[in-house]
Chain A
Amino acid sequence: MSEIPDLKAKLGLDVFKPAAEPHIRIRQGMEKDPRLKPAIRVCPAGLYSENERGEVILTIDGCLECGTCRLVCGTEILDWNYPPGGNGVQYRFG
């Protein structure tokens, strides 16, 4: 998704401390699983999208760690962790 030009700018306002490794991964072979599709709609940061091969891809930069994709897709599909301590989004207002 990310058709909203505003969204990237909005995420750019947040403080992130990126981790070395992505903290959420689509499990191998699950990229076309229909249970992944809803993540494209619900992710408030627009981090899930579908490529021309019909695979769902995930860009971790800008993850707000809300957990919606974990609830919607489940951990059979997603290898889901919070970022390591001290990494990820750091809210200044909250």
Chain B
Amino acid sequence: MIIVGAGLAGLGAAYTLAGSGLEVLVLERGDYPGAKNMTGGRLYLNPVRDLFPGLFENAPLERFIAYEGISIMAKDRSVTLNYTGNELRDEPRQSYSVLRSKFDRWLSEHVEEKGVSILSKIRVDDVIKDNGKIVGVLAGADELRADVVLACDGALSITSEKAGLRLPVALGDFALGIKEVISLDSGVINERFNLEGDEGAARLFVGEVTQGKFGGGFLYTNRESVSLGIVVGIEDAAADSLPLEVPALMDSFKGRPEIAPLISGGSTVEYSAHVIPEGGFKALGNLYGNGILVAGDAAGLALNIGFTVRGMEFALASGHFAAQTVMKAKEAGNYDASTLSMYKRLLEDSFVLKDLRSFQETPAVVGNPRFFSHYPELIGAIMKDVYSVPAGAKERLYPTIRKRLTLGELWGLFMDLKGVMKI
């Protein structure tokens, strides 16, 4: 069996397959597993703990998230909602910030210790087909043959594209994430974010960050750095509808008074970018074919519902279920599409496709541009009126708010909330 890509899907599959008697080879185009991988920064462990018993106990995770914050950003002001609770501190912890180069490298070492071979610096260029069945991959001049190929080669997945499993590109189904890792002393991080020990904070920012378009900003505290970045819909970014070019969005975000003091004195140590599948359930291509399975970002398994943005646990879990499928297929001695269709059933019985299905309307709902410009400005304006103490007499609160919330406004809000009820 050949696994293309040593990210969380590929390594999750390899970990599950180790000791199964199957001969597994993982191919990775980077210098080392993790060299090409990046994330905004948060891994939710609850959905995958049972699939990988004990594995995460010694994982190089950064901080557990004890504070969640969401800021609605208007041009000149912002409103922030913060949440913390004992449930976020109780063991087992729900989610952790993570840096992928470190994490993936660690996981790959575990996988290798369990006897699976990982070959780095190998770029897979194509699949080998024989009678409509995938029988291996082409890496440069090398033909590598296998009973089954597992494509875990990320959001663009050249492997599944060559195998004919992908839908034609719809720009609306993809976002671009860019990030700076900014190094800061851990004590400074604890002070600035009101943290103790290995507590961490996660903050999301919507509105002006993406100039009123779909997307937002994020900040995750790591042990000795913060991950600061933005996610923007590729369709908006490409279509001139964003006044700023993508790199300038990031600088404008960093310069916001809500952000600048948090990173002051820190130095950027890395700048990275990655495409993110955002289309959800409706944008999924084929998850399997004759002699091939697709997992992780390559399969489009990621879920953004505004407050939580998830991908990595979908990658780990889909890799795990792909591995289980391959073990069953080996018993059956058959790797054709009908045998491998078990993969889809396993995903459907798990949180992976259950969550994607439950939240299939969210891409359309969270794509509503009013959430990114109109409402941030409206909420900001109401807060400004409520908090302002003018030189003269202050108007009564109810008429002040009512002035903003006209009948037309309330009707629009009602219609938009009707959309939200689908989530």
Contact = CB atoms under 8 A, between A and B. Distances in A.
Interface of A: 1, 3-4, 6-7, 10-11, 13-14, 17, 38, 40-46, 64-68, 70-72, 74, 81-86, 88-94
The A contact surface, by secondary structure, is loop
B320 interface: no
A72 B123 contact: no
Given A4-B251, A68-B273, A71-B156, 11 more contacts: A38-B240, A67-B154, A67-B155, A68-B275, A85-B122, A85-B123, A86-B30, A89-B272, A90-B30, A94-B35, A94-B37
Contact of A41 (B155, B174, B245): B245
A2 to B, nearest CB: 8
Contacts of A7: 247
A44 B231 CA distance: 11
B102 interface: yes
A17 B36 CA distance: 12
B242 interface: yes
A20 to B, nearest CB: 14
Contact of B238 (A3, A66, A72, A86): A72
Interface in B24-61: 29-32, 34-39
Nearest to A9: B268
A84 B124 CA distance: 9
Given A13-B270, A72-B238, A84 B275 contact: no
Interface string B178-215: 10110000000000000000000000000000000000
B284 interface: no
Contact of A94 (B101, B122, B140, B245): B101
Nearest to A44: B273
A14, A70, A85, A90 — which one has the most chain B CB atoms within 10 A of its CB?
A85
A9 B55 CA distance: 38
B344 interface: no
Interface string B228-255: 0000001001111010011110110000
Nearest to B180: A10
Contacts of A66: 176, 178, 273-275
20 contacts: A1-B247, A11-B271, A13-B269, A14-B270, A38-B240, A43-B246, A44-B246, A44-B247, A65-B36, A68-B176, A85-B29, A86-B120, A90-B36, A91-B270, A92-B101, A93-B102, A93-B269, A94-B99, A94-B100, A94-B104
A91 B238 contact: no
B239 to A, nearest CB: 7
Contacts of A92: 101, 269-270
Given A66-B176, A85-B121, A41 B238 contact: yes
B234 A91 contact: no
Interface centre among B34, B99, B225, B271 (most CB of A within 10 A): B271
Contacts of B99: 93-94
A44 to B, nearest CB: 4
Contact of B272 (A1, A42, A74, A94): A94
Contacts of B242: 41
Contact of A86 (B121, B155, B271): B121
B272 A71 contact: no
B366 interface: no
Interface in B99-139: 99-104, 120-123, 125, 139
B417 interface: no
> Which 5 pairs across A and B sit closest by C-beta, in order of nearness?
A86-B121, A94-B100, A94-B101, A38-B238, A85-B121
B357 to A, nearest CB: 25
B417 to A, nearest CB: 32
B176 A44 contact: yes
Given A4-B248, A17-B31, A66-B176, A91 B272 contact: yes
